[in-house]
């Protein structure tokens, strides 16, 4: 694949007008770089280069090269091969004469560079943005797909995604070097907003909003909707650890996992978990997010009274800001995430502004969501919605049609006894530092505990009962100096009277 030199010099000389391209580019999808899968390869036929070498990419019109700062002077080595994803970055480093350090290994076909880090000489500042900007761009490039047109401890403190793009210079640099990692419509949107942010013909308020929107959008890693296969044995283990019983629910979730493994995409429909309070609906949602290995965010629909809270406000207002959905993307730092929508049946109608729940329709359809503040459609193909509700009768038909509904039954008397004995009480004892033999509940005492809450749904009450019993046992041991405490039916009834 032919690649042009990255010279920025202007000369009328024929020799300089026709620069020599010394390298070709290659396609790679490698997410981590090694000597076998390098970022670029430099010529080492005349000199073997050190494992760590400092210098700059040349900004010249004759040859594409790297200038090594060695102990015996400056040496130049032609660039032979470059990962196509990194061509713009190398051009930018050369144009700006940024001092860097290479980590590489001498191979048969050249010096294979697998790491690039920025350095600073003579107290110079590191790039135009915060420290870590270069690593931020490299990580985004590595996470992207192949372009179409021995890890070191000292690197552990330089994590790119901890650095946020805020200044116009860093935003501009990122778009130049890693702009291709963004979807086409977002890249076009970013160029337009960057022009607004730099323009002197618009108000300061407009420039501020444009820069803020750019910072939010560019700090999101826009991933493809391809999902790696999930180990079903591992997924089932997580479900068994988090949930007791609920075999039908677990089976439905496992079916979803197998579907993802076959198609490598998310199902067309999210999950709607319907059941009484305290039956573990939110816990199921968190377990699914853990299995999918995705960041998650929650939307509490009972507290959202106005659709604008979800869609954001227009930039015409001085105090405009993005909506909750866009902020969720920003906080997650990537476009693939689980939206846990709690209490969907309690979404209140706004005061003449419509129903907030209806705003979710475009998000649930995975066709893209448009925030009023961002003024750009963001892809939602990597969003997996999981909603919870107590009563599906209160959910509109259009919303219901976007979900695969799973009914969560209440636990039986016997199931609550097992949950109390094997999960609730051991968990509390471990947390407060009591041994099992120091707090004993007899069979009759256990029946009395469950009978106390036989008219309540879920298991929250019996978890609180376990907390109460353990706290009372701890009091008797610490204050009354009891060796151990045994709770029978009479003591339980007295304690909960």
pTM, entire model: 0.69
Tens digits of residue pLDDT in 417-441: 888 888 888 888 888 888 888 888 8
**Which CATH code is given to the segment(s) 232-407?**
3.40.50.300
pLDDT of residue 168: 85
Q: Is the model more confident about 59 or about 148?
A: 59
Q: How far apart are CA 320 and CA 314, in angstroms?
A: 6
Q: What is the pLDDT of residue 247?
A: 80
83-118 confidence digits (pLDDT tens) = 988 988 888 888 888 888 999 999 989 999 999 988
- Summary mean pLDDT of the chain: 82
User: So where are the chain's domains?
Assistant: 14-154, 184-218, 232-407, 413-495
Confidence at residue 111, expressed as pLDDT on a 0 to 100 scale: 94
Distance of CA 18 to the CA centre of its chain: 45
Neighbours of 396 (CB within 10 A): 14
b/e per residue, 22-36, with b = 16+ CB within 10 A?
bbebeebeeeebebe
Tokens of 296: 């998650």
Tell me what pLDDT residue 155 has: 45
Q: What is the DSSP letter of 277?
A: T
Of the two residues 282 and 231, the one the predictor is more confident about is 231
- pLDDT at site 11: 43
Query: What was the pLDDT predicted at 38?
Result: 93
- Residue 40: pLDDT above 50? yes
CATH code of the region 413-495: 1.10.8.60
CB atoms closer than 10 angstroms to residue 250: 18
pLDDT tens for residues 161-196?
A: 455 677 888 888 888 888 888 888 999 999 999 999
What is the SS3 assignment for 17?
helix
Sequence-distant (≥ 6) Cβ neighbours of residue 347 within 8 angstroms = 301, 302, 304, 355, 356, 357
Structure tokens at 470: 């353990």
* Calpha distance 319→310 (Å, rounded): 16
Q: Apex CA 340: angle with CA 190 and CA 335, to 5°?
A: 25
The conformation of residue 476, written as its DSSP 8-state character, comes to H
Mean pLDDT of 399-412: 84
CB 312 within 8 A of CB 323: yes
Q: How many other β-carbons are positioned within 10 Å of the β-carbon of residue 11?
A: 10
Mean pLDDT within 313-337: 88
Apex 214 CA angle, 209 and 220, nearest 5? 135
């Amino acid at each position: 694949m032919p690649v042009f030199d990255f010279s920025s010099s202007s000369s009328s000389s024929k020799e300089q007008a026709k620069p020599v391209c010394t390298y070709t580019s290659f396609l790679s999808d490698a997410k981590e770089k090694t000597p076998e899968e390098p970022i670029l390869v430099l010529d080492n036929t005349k000199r073997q280069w050190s494992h760590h070498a400092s210098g700059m990419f040349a900004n010249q019109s004759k040859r594409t090269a790297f200038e090594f700062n060695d102990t015996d002077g400056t040496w130049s080595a032609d660039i032979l091969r470059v990962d196509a994803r990194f061509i713009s970055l190398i051009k930018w480093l050369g144009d700006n004469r940024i001092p860097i350090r290479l980590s590489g290994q001498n191979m048969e076909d050249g010096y294979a560079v697998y790491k690039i880090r920025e350095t600073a000489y003579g107290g110079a500042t590191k790039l135009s943005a915060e420290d870590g900007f270069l690593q931020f761009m490299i990580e985004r490039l590595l996470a992207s797909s192949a372009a179409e047109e021995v890890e070191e401890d000292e690197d552990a403190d330089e994590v790119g995604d901890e650095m946020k793009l805020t200044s116009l210079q860093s935003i501009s640099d990122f778009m130049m070097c890693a702009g291709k990692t963004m979807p086409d419509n977002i890249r076009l949107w970013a160029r337009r907003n960057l022009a607004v942010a730099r323009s002197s013909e618009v108000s300061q308020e407009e420039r501020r909003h444009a820069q803020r929107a750019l910072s939010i959008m560019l700090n999101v890693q826009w991933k493809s909707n391809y999902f790696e296969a999930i180990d079903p044995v591992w997924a089932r283990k997580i479900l068994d650890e988090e949930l007791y019983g609920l075999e039908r629910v677990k089976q439905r979730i496992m079916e979803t996992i197998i579907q993802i493994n076959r198609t490598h995409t998310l199902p067309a429909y999210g999950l709607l978990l319907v059941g009484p309070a305290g039956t573990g609906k939110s816990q199921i949602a968190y377990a699914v997010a853990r299995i999918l290995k995705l960041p998650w965010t929650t939307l509490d629909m009972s507290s959202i009274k106005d659709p604008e809270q979800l869609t954001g406000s227009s930039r015409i207002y001085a105090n405009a800001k993005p909506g909750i959905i866009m902020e969720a993307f920003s906080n997650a730092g990537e476009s693939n995430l689980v939206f846990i929508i709690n209490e969907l049946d309690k979404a209140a109608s706004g005061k003449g502004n419509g129903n907030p729940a209806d705003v979710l329709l475009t998000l649930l359809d995975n066709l893209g969501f448009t925030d009023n503040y961002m003024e750009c459609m963001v892809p939602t193909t990597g969003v997996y919605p999981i909603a919870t509700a107590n009563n599906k009768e209160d959910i509109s038909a259009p919303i219901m049609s976007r979900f695969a509904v799973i009914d969560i039954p209440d636990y039986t008397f016997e199931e609550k006894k097992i949950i109390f004995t094997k999960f609730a009480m051991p968990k509390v004892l471990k947390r407060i530092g009591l041994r099992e033999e120091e707090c004993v509940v007899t069979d009759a005492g256990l029946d009395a505990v469950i009978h106390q809450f036989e008219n309540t749904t879920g298991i929250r009450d019996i978890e609180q009962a376990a907390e109460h019993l353990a706290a009372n046992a701890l009091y008797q041991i610490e204050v009354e100096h009891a060796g151990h405490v045994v709770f029978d039916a009479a003591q339980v009834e007295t304690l909960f009277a």
